[in-house]
Amino acid sequence: MNGFNVGDPSIAAAGSTEAKDTTDVLIVGCGPAGLTLATQLCAFGDISVRIIERKSGPLEFGQADGIACRSAEMYEAFGFAERVIKEGYHVNEVSFWRPGADETPLVRADRIQDVEDDHSEMPHIILSQARVHNFYLENMAKSPSRLTPEYKRELVSLTRKDDRDFPIEATVACPTRPEDTETIRAKYVVGCDGARSKVRSELSLALKGESARQLWGVMDVLCHTNFPDIRLKCAVQSADQGSILVIPREGGYLVRLYIELDELVPDERAADLRGQSPVELLDTYSTERRAKAQELIDFDRDMARLFSEKPKTKKDAAQFQAYFKKHGRYTAGVETRYDASLIRGDTRHQNLATGYPVGQRFHSGPVIRLADAKPMQLGHNLKADGRWRIIIFAPRMDEGDAN
Ligand SMILES: Cc1cc2nc3c(=O)[nH]c(=O)nc-3n(C[C@H](O)[C@H](O)[C@H](O)COP(=O)(O)OP(=O)(O)OC[C@H]3O[C@@H](n4cnc5c(N)ncnc54)[C@H](O)[C@@H]3O)c2cc1C
């Protein structure tokens, strides 16, 4: 395990595994958000965590099966990217089908690289969300607290209490036996309970935003077809029959079809828990992430609108492809840049690293670690183990002068 003790290094020494009625963090919901947070918090043996889910067990069928390069980088930090890469379908190229000249209903207009070189060392992957959830659950089970989600547990209400240590009281029920209720007192409750969040409504917060008027059907099918690009991601835009997105699935057989239906009618953080940083650091999460989430929503809306538009001219038809290409870095999730905050400095020292804009997500690349001369991907060294890291680069052409 460490050159002295043998064992599996991915299994941490067990700490306290007892579920108490008080906890530092109560996470509501076992979707991707809840499981990511729980896995990260598990790295801190001194923070107690409980995670509840109203469903009866782990996810069986996924929706979020498309894994952007940036998500795969995050899985690397959690130590399971290799398995995702091995099992998943790799979206390396995209083909665009549009109406051709002379009444030809559809022709392949182009076939392009999906993720441009140097965006990330990770591919764009398709793998069942249920599988990714399993990897998170395995990590949690190997952590010091051996954390497992508590299924059939639904958050019913939240009450603020006059208690300095555990100021929030959560009432939790079993959906099949609502009379079975439990009270959990927590320092923090994190609402990872999806679009119709009970945590949000208990805090009397309104859902701000807008909904798109487009309706899409999504299904995984086994196609018997002579369509030549069935094993490629394809954007198919017809003249008057709507659009279809074809995304091959892992395993080599099924494809997922996103089919445009008729339009809808209009009516229808851990450091502060350990005392290492001020509590105000939690507030920066909203300012940092809200702006990014809004960009993503805007981008998704524009992309869906362009895809659905019935092209009148050849130029119109090429617009979706041009937009797709232009925003490749963005869809890969590697374009994030944070504004100055408590944890992001200003740009007064930018001249020291002109190739790395301050606040920009750190790009991985092949490097040689000075201490042991090991060639490696820089990003693979940044594990999600809760440590703060300082990375120092030698100047270009530095040969390592012993003096
Ligand atoms: C058809 C479709 C396709 C998609 N494809 C992709 C894709 O390819 N890639 C991608 O990244 N995203 C995709 N998404 C989006 C993705 O599914 C969501 O962004 C993601 O699931 C949001 O994660 P979450 O953890 O915030 O919430 P959710 O996944 O909604 O999870 C919330 C969890 O909380 C539980 N819960 C709710 N209320 C309570 C309560 N009161 N008590 C206890 N538990 C509760 C729910 O049962 C659920 O398990 C797709 C979505 C859809 C609908």
pLDDT at 32 over 80: yes
CA-nearest residue, atom 30 of ligand 1: 194
Cα(first)–Cα(last) distance of the chain, in Å?
36
- Note the pLDDT of residue 273: 74
Tell me which residue has its CA closest to atom 11 in ligand 1.
64
Decide: 53 and 174 in contact? Cβ < 8 Å. no
C-alpha distances in angstroms, 107 versus 239, 312, 325?
A: 12, 16, 19
Rg of the chain in Å (alpha carbons): 24
Q: With 60 as the cut, is the pLDDT of residue 265 above it? A: no
Q: What is the dihedral of CA 178, 183, 186, 189, to 10 degrees?
A: 10
Q: Which residue has the tokens 């399971």?
A: 80
Q: Strand pairing partners for 26? A: 50, 189
Q: Note the pLDDT tens digit of each residue in 346-372.
A: 999 999 888 888 988 878 888 887 777
Mean pLDDT across the chain: 87
| pLDDT of residue 196 exceeding 70 | yes
Query: Tell me, what's the pLDDT at 16?
Result: 72
User: Region 167-189: what's the mean pLDDT?
Assistant: 93
Instruction: Read off the pLDDT of each residue in 16-39 and give the average, rounded to a whole number.
Output: 91
DSSP of 91-105: --EEEEEE--STT-S
pLDDT of residue 9: 82
Give me the sheet containing 168-174, strands edge to edge.
Answer: 49-52, 22-28, 177-191, 168-174, 154-160
Q: How much distance in Å is there from the Cα of 192 to the middle of ligand 1?
A: 9
Residue 64 CB–ligand 1 contact under 6 Å: yes
Q: 198 CB under 6 A from ligand 1? A: yes
| Cβ 50 under 6 angstroms from ligand 1 | no
Residue, of 312 and 156, whose pLDDT is higher? 156
pLDDT attached to residue 97? 93
Q: How far is the CA of 157 from the centre of ligand 1 (A)?
A: 21
pLDDT tens-digit readout, 57-98: 999 988 889 999 999 999 999 999 999 999 999 999 999 999
Ligand 1 atom nearest to CA at 218: 1
Kindly state if the Cβ of 123 falls inside 6 Å of ligand 1.
no
Q: Which of 63, 137, 218 to mutate to test the pocket of ligand 1 (most atoms within 8 A of CB)?
A: 63
114-141 per-position pLDDT tens digit: 988 888 899 999 999 999 999 999 999 9
Q: Is the CB of 154 under 6 A from ligand 1?
A: yes
> For the chain, what percent of residues have pLDDT higher than 90?
46
Cα atoms in the 13 Å half-sphere on the side-chain side of 92: 7
* Atom 17, ligand 1: residue with shortest CA distance: 64
pLDDT at 172 over 50: yes
Residue nearest to atom 31 of ligand 1 (CA): 31
Distance from residue 354's CA to the centre of ligand 1 (Å): 39
Residue 169: exposure state from Cβ atoms within 10 A (0-12, 13-18, ≥19): middle
Q: What is the pTM of this model?
A: 0.84
The predicted pLDDT at position 213 comes to 67
Q: Does residue 149 have its Cβ closer than 6 Å to ligand 1?
A: no
pLDDT digits (tens, 9 = 90+) for 302-313: 888 888 777 677
Indicate which residue's Cα is closest to atom 37 of ligand 1: 193
Residue 268: pLDDT band with limits 50, 70, 90: very low
Q: In this predicted structure, what is the pLDDT of residue 19?
A: 65
Tally Cβ neighbours within 10 Å of residue 137.
19
CA atoms within 13 A on the CB side of 190: 24
- Asked if residue 275 has pLDDT above 80, the reply is no
Backbone torsion region of residue 360, taken as left when φ is above 0, otherwise alpha when ψ lies between -120 and 50, otherwise beta: beta
Pocket test for ligand 1, best of 131, 132, 193, 250 (most atoms within 8 A of CB): 193
- Tell me the C-alpha distance between 41 and 330, whole Å: 28
Query: Which of 59, 48, 22, 25 lies closest to 136 in space, CA to CA?
Result: 59
Q: Is the shortest distance between the CB of 328 and ligand 1 below 6 Å?
A: no
Q: Is 63 in the pocket of ligand 1 (CB under 6 A)?
A: yes
Report which secondary-structure segment, H or E, holds 185: strand 177-191
Cα separation, 28 vs 149, in Å, equals: 10
218 close to ligand 1 (CB < 6 Angstrom): yes
Q: Is 126 in the pocket of ligand 1 (CB under 6 A)?
A: no
- Residue whose CA is at the smallest distance from ligand 1 atom 9: 64
Phi, psi of 181 (to 5 degrees): -110, 155
Rounded CA-CA distance 27/52 in Å is 6
Range with the poorest average pLDDT among 24-38, 43-57, 183-197, 236-250:
236-250
Res. 267: pLDDT tops 60: no
Instruction: Report d(CA 236, CA 218) in Å as an integer.
Output: 15
Residue 80 CB: number of other CB atoms within 10 A? 20
